[in-house]
Chain A
Amino acid sequence: MRVIDSIKVDRTDSCGERSPLFIIIKAIEKIKECGEAVEILMNDYDWYVSLKYILQIRGLDYKVEDKGKQDNFMKVQVIKDC
């Protein structure tokens, strides 16, 4: 497994035209190969649940692995599952 990008989205500062979820999805779209992953730090459980639903709705072959916490942010890795 190779982490190709890491992003951090903070509910404290996020507002305006671009939703943090949009930013997360854009990062995930960079994954092209099996075993590639994007690491996400986020601090809103809503985004975590929504991310799982989005991947499910789109029927994408990604899995979300929980990696505990870092600096009080939830840490997850989204991995292409194949």
Chain B
Amino acid sequence: MSQTTQQQQVVVDTQWVLSHLKDPKVRVVEVDYDPNTAYNIWHITGAVLIRWREDLRHPVLRDFIEPPQFEKLMESKGISNDTTVVLYGDYNNWFAVYAFWLFKAYGHEDVRVLNGGRTKWAKEGLPTEQGPKEPSYPKGSYKVKKIDWGTHRAFFWEILQRVNKGEVGKSLVLVDVRSPKEYTGEIRAPPEYADEQTQVGGHIPGAVNIPWSQAVNPETGEFKPVEELRRLYESAGVTPDKEVITYCRIGERASHTWFVLKYLLGYPAVRVYDGSWAEWGNVVSAPLKKGQEP
């Protein structure tokens, strides 16, 4: 499959969504971290809502819902295994892409991302509905047929081992997609996010800093052209011949860059370390570096 074809299959534009709003095989899903400042204010006409915290996170563990709960959620939103799911959401589509990662780990075949998300839809003045009322659709029929965490997720212990073996920067590229101030350790999290502060600040030794935002057009929120993206990552040593792991603070920005590398640039081996700095920066004796050097 060519990269262009792959990109066409996972990214849709506003006009595509507009022309499929009444398509029964397509379900438009807004994925929000905070629906009260997003979906409940306005959403794309006919879109259903998935709440990141309440619907996708495990109710007890720092993890995701398990397949039976995922199946139930899909069916309640009118999604079946053969439904084309289009995701968009608040915070620059971060949680939509994080959900895309989960959909792929649970084997959903046709899931796509609305390029530019809420920002682009709003800017173009396209049809919206106001208020929290969610449309209801006939119940779907859903079965998680395969679970693939192996090619999607990296764990703390694996990265620690590879840092200690000196593999980072050689066969493995770690991409820290946080802001430069978080990377250097000047801040551990913006001050307003008290529950995401860590014991220490800095970055995983060997990680390169490429903030997620460099992959999008700031005006529209859309992904930058593929050639521009390729230059951006390759010039920083993030090349397709290496294994790549992305991380941020809680995993959502990391999945944005994961999506860019894996689905827009076609890199074969990219995973998300979703434990990210919220885990690494709290573990006793975990190695870290401060400052601008990897």
Q: Interface residues, chain A, CB within 8 Å of chain B?
A: 11-23, 43-46, 48-50, 53-54, 57, 72
14 additional contacts (CB under 8 A) given A12-B213, A22-B34, A49-B42: A11-B91, A12-B179, A15-B249, A15-B253, A16-B195, A18-B193, A19-B33, A22-B37, A43-B218, A45-B119, A46-B117, A46-B118, A53-B42, A53-B130
Chain A residue numbers with a CB within 8 Å of B90 are 19, 46
Given A21-B37, A43-B218, A16 contacting B192 (CB threshold 8 A): yes
- Complex Cα gap A49–B94 (Å): 19
Chain A residue numbers with a CB within 8 Å of B189 are 16
Query: How many residue-residue contacts, CB under 8 A, span A and B?
Result: 78
Q: Which chain B residue lies CB-closest to A13?
A: B179
Chain B residue numbers with a CB within 8 Å of A22 are 34, 37
Chain B residue numbers with a CB within 8 Å of A23 are 192
Chain B residue numbers with a CB within 8 Å of A49 are 42, 122
Chain A residue numbers with a CB within 8 Å of B94 are 15
Contact A46 B122 (CB under 8 A): yes
B contacts with A, residue count (CB < 8 A): 34
9 A-B contact pairs sorted by A residue (CB < 8 Å): A11-B218, A15-B91, A16-B193, A16-B195, A17-B195, A19-B33, A21-B37, A46-B38, A48-B122
B80, CB-defined interface residue at 8 Å:
no
Contact A17 B119 (CB under 8 A): no
Q: Which chain B residue lies CB-closest to A49?
A: B122
Given A49-B42, A53-B42, A13 contacting B196 (CB threshold 8 A): no
Q: How far is the CB of B271 from chain A (nearest CB, A)?
A: 21
Contact B38 A50 (CB under 8 A): yes
B211, CB-defined interface residue at 8 Å:
yes
Q: Which of A12, A17, A44, A54 contacts B196 (CB 8 A)?
A: A17
Q: Interface residues, chain B, CB within 8 Å of chain A?
A: 33-34, 36-38, 41-42, 90-92, 94, 117-119, 122-123, 130-131, 179, 189-190, 192-196, 211, 213, 218, 221, 249-250, 252-253
Q: How far is the CB of B116 from chain A (nearest CB, A)?
A: 10
Chain B residue numbers with a CB within 8 Å of A53 are 41-42, 130
Q: How far is the CB of A43 from chain B (nearest CB, A)?
A: 6
Q: How far is the CB of B117 from chain A (nearest CB, A)?
A: 8
Given A50-B38, A54-B41, A57-B130, A16 contacting B190 (CB threshold 8 A): yes
Contact A15 B213 (CB under 8 A): no
Contact A11 B92 (CB under 8 A): yes
Chain A residue numbers with a CB within 8 Å of B34 are 19, 22
Chain A residue numbers with a CB within 8 Å of B253 are 15
- The 4 A-B residue pairs with the shortest CB-CB distance, nearest first, are A16-B193, A19-B37, A21-B37, A46-B118
Q: Which of A14, A43, A45, A48 contacts B91 (CB 8 A)?
A: A14
- Complex Cα gap A14–B196 (Å): 13
Q: How far is the CB of A2 from chain B (nearest CB, A)?
A: 26
Chain A residue numbers with a CB within 8 Å of B213 are 11-12
- Complex Cα gap A15–B195 (Å): 12
Q: How far is the CB of B107 from chain A (nearest CB, A)?
A: 28
- Complex Cα gap A25–B106 (Å): 38
Q: Which of B119, B179, B249, B252 contacts A46 (CB 8 A)?
A: B119
Chain B residue numbers with a CB within 8 Å of A13 are 179, 190
Q: How far is the CB of B140 from chain A (nearest CB, A)?
A: 28
Given A11-B92, A49-B42, A16 contacting B118 (CB threshold 8 A): no
